[in-house]
Amino acid sequence: MVFTVLLVLLVLAGLAAWRRHPRLAWGFGGVALLLFLLVSCGPVPRWLLTGLQQPYAAMPQQDWTARNAIVLLGFGTELPQAGGAPQPSILADGRIVKAAELYHECKAAGRQCLLLVSGGDSQRHHVAEATVYGEVLRRLGVPVQDLMLETRSRSTWQNAQFSRPLLQAYGPQRVFLVSSGFHLRRSLLYFAHFGIHPVPVSGGELRARMSSWPQSWNVAVCDIALHEYAGIARYYEYNLMGWNAPSLPPLTAGK
């Protein structure tokens, strides 16, 4: 996304130079250079990520009820270079560990807890994210009877949409939503649309690297942050145009 904007600015600079408008050409070129430095040296991605992650940086208090649900959102899988079964992506590791920690805290408190893993095969690796993550969670001590896998969703919107009927059938008194810090704001918006109002739990954050020299890492995390803001804006646009599915009433809690 960042490079697309830079490319547009450079094309405009080239067109201005071709049309013999040197001041305009220098203007577009200067803006492109300034934007590149502000992104790749860290200020822009740091600002964008702070707006996404800061509200969820503190770990919420776990007031466990008699019947709880933990929803873990997928973040892709990776195919090992040496071959073999897909593994969770590196950015999913923190989410998985945090979900397992929450589950064990819930059980230690003597409460009932379901761990719902939501994620389909969006990358066409021939196995759903939820299936891959579920195997890891079992190795982390989560028993099969307390795991539920939602394997159809291919987007955050579908994570919320397809989790709704599963949660409704279970009837939790409290729902915890585990995802990366940068992803929680958009996830909460989508889940609320389907009547799910969970407690957000961050499974890790992204940090920009402030540097006097351009770094590709900063461009990458800036793209991730912009993707989140675009998803939030798209939600409101689709609501305005009537393109979203109808919103649903709140979940009915179990007894």
CA distance 60 to 65: 14
Tell me what the mean pLDDT of segment 41-50 comes to.
97
CA distance 53 to 50: 5
pTM score of the predicted model: 0.92
pLDDT in tens, 103-149: 999 999 999 999 999 999 999 999 999 999 999 999 999 999 999 99
| Residue 198 backbone zone (phi > 0: left; psi -120 to 50: alpha; other: beta) | beta
Distances (CA, A) of 204 to 56, 115, 169, 223: 10, 18, 30, 17
Give the number of C-alpha atoms closer than 13 A to the C-alpha of residue 234, restricted to the C-beta side: 10
Are the CB atoms for 71 and 250 separated by under 8 Å? no
Tell me what the mean pLDDT of segment 52-69 comes to.
92
pLDDT score, position 255: 53
pLDDT score, position 96: 98
Which residue did the predictor score with more confidence, 12 or 66?
66
pLDDT score, position 81: 83
pLDDT in tens, 147-162: 999 999 999 999 999 9
Indicate the angle between helix axes 43-53 and 22-40, nearest 10 degrees: 50
Parts of the chain belonging to CATH 3.40.50.620: 59-207
Amino acid at position 245, single letter: A
Residue 15 has pLDDT above 90, yes or no: no
The separation between CA 224 and the C-alpha centre of its own chain, rounded to angstroms, equals 9
Residue 227 has pLDDT above 80, yes or no: yes
In sign, the C-alpha dihedral spanning 70, 191, 119, 96 is negative
Does the domain at 59-207 match CATH 3.40.50.620? Answer given as yes
> In this structure, what token pair is assigned to residue 124?
């066409």
Dihedral of CA atoms 130, 117, 245, 190 in degrees, nearest 10, equals: -120
* Contacts of residue 217, Cβ cutoff 8 Å, sequence gap at least 6: 208, 209
